[in-house]
Amino acid sequence: MAKQQKEVHKVKMTDGKRAIIQQLFQEYDIESTSDIQDALKDLLGGTIKEMMEVEMDSHLGYEKSQRSANENARNGYKSKTLNSSYGSVRIEVPQDRQSSFEPQVVKKRQKDISAIDQKIISMYAKGMTTRQISETINDIYGFEASEGFVSDVTDKILPHIEEWQNRCLVSVYPIVFIDAIHFSVRQDSIVSKLAAYVVVGINDAGRKEVLTIEIGENESSKYWLGVLNSLKNR
């Protein structure tokens, strides 16, 4: 395995290196780094939908599973295609019967989410605290978002993030891609450069899985050893 990791470390993922994603991928043909980008699109679309669900709860005044005397109600979803740093992303936008819902994370006429897509993906990185995730969400929505609303969004997506970060892994991955990317992140109003250590494995069923994403101050062999040991323990 160590020999395989050394060999695949030479592979450059270009934009696909920006892989900080939540779930086992749907089965893709293993031919190019565009497969990684497709998985990122899945993560972006799903997370944005969850955030919009909270927006709809706030708009209607009750959650999806609750009953209400409100004349307005949920009315399914409408597909929308957006441009992102990873290519075109298809999302499902919640609708209401009175057509009065005005989503804020992606506005009705907005076609580009490249200003927020990497912020969303960064929330799936290990090492981000609840406070940091809340700050990221507040940064996405802007200062008009109330503290209670930001807390609701955090509560909605945090279980998905934690489940992904702590899930058990299978014992063998025949092929493993490892690489690191460097990006800017805001913490306590200060912008700093961090390294994201990304490990993507292909299991014996031919499915690709982002095994982990670890955040460090810089890329080093010592930190990589810690990342791989952590994977071994899982």
State the virtual CA torsion across 200, 3, 168, 158 in degrees, nearest 10: -40
Compute the half-sphere exposure of residue 133: CA atoms within 13 Å on the CB side of its CA: 22
In this prediction, residue 12 carries a pLDDT of 39
List the domain boundaries for the chain.
Answer: 2-31+168-233, 36-115+128-166
- The structure tokens listed for 232 are 């071994």
- Mean pLDDT of the 165-177 span: 88
Q: What is the pLDDT of residues 202-233, one digit of tens each?
A: 988 888 888 888 877 777 888 888 888 888 88
Residue 200 φ then ψ, to 5°: -115, 125
Q: What is the pLDDT of residues 31-46, one digit of tens each?
A: 455 666 676 777 788 8
